[in-house]
Amino acid sequence: MKILVCISKTPDTTAKIAFTDNNTKFSEAGVQFIINPYDEWYALVRALELKETLGGTVHLITVGGADTEPIIRKALALGGDEAFRINADSHDSYFIAAQIADHAKKENYDLILTGKETIDYNGSSIGGMLSELLDLPFVSIAAKLDINGQTATLNREIEGGEEVVEVALPVVVSAQKGMAEARIPNMKGIMAARTKPLKVLEPVAADNLTTVVGFDLPPAKAGVKLIDPENAEELVKLLHEQAKAF
């Protein structure tokens, strides 16, 4: 079993959000970065579980500059065998997917896993684009994944129930909550990650199909208005006229 896990660098959820360059770029000043949780907790950990039960290797890939290397090293510390960094700085989904697809075509992976989305841009687009570029089936937002021979069985939550899908390998899968339980790197894994291969690859030619016009912060929350518990009429009036609750 040869598995590729796509890894993204994202701001920690506690990071203070600010923008620069006339609100067209995210300000990284003072921001702590982490592995995108959907990539780490679900896609990567499930890949490691499959390796432990079925054997094989787990490769990691990210698209970014040298500042992404601490993130990919942490993924190696969790148990990845080898990592690849495409040396390009782009937030365009198509460009990123094209870089990963070019690498994947050369390696013939049985399974390619992504998180269902990144917690910064929430695009949910890389998995589907990889599927198209590689001409492989795609199962999105899967909560469970089992492999039996050359068949993958996946469970997806759908409106009002659950869907069970069977698909032949190779396949691209985006993982969501339920796929696996989060792991913490141990000291042995951290030490081993220092010597595991991390290969830097130059990007292939690909278009950037999107550009950021601007970012806006959500409006500040209004203060809390206290209503006398004996004044139910005022509460109903405010809910109707200001909150538009009914």
Residue-wise pLDDT for 187-243, tens only, equals 888 888 888 999 999 999 999 999 888 888 888 777 777 888 888 888 888 888 887
Mean pLDDT of 134-160: 96
Closest CA to 94 of 129, 64, 134: 129
For residue 243, being part of any structural domain is answered with: no
Burial 148-158 (b: 16+ CB within 10 A, else e): eeeebebbbee
For residue 239, being part of any structural domain is answered with: no
For residue 24, being part of any structural domain is answered with: yes
Distance (Å, whole) CA 138 – CA 159: 19
| Residue 38 · residue 118 · CB < 8 Å | yes
CATH number for 200: 3.40.50.620
Question: Quick one: tokens of 231?
Answer: 């004044």
This prediction has a pTM of 0.86
Give percent above pLDDT 70 in the chain.
100
| Residue 177 · residue 211 · CB < 8 Å | no
Domain extent, residue 96, equals 2-217
For residue 234, being part of any structural domain is answered with: no
For residue 154, being part of any structural domain is answered with: yes
Tally of structural domains, the chain: 1
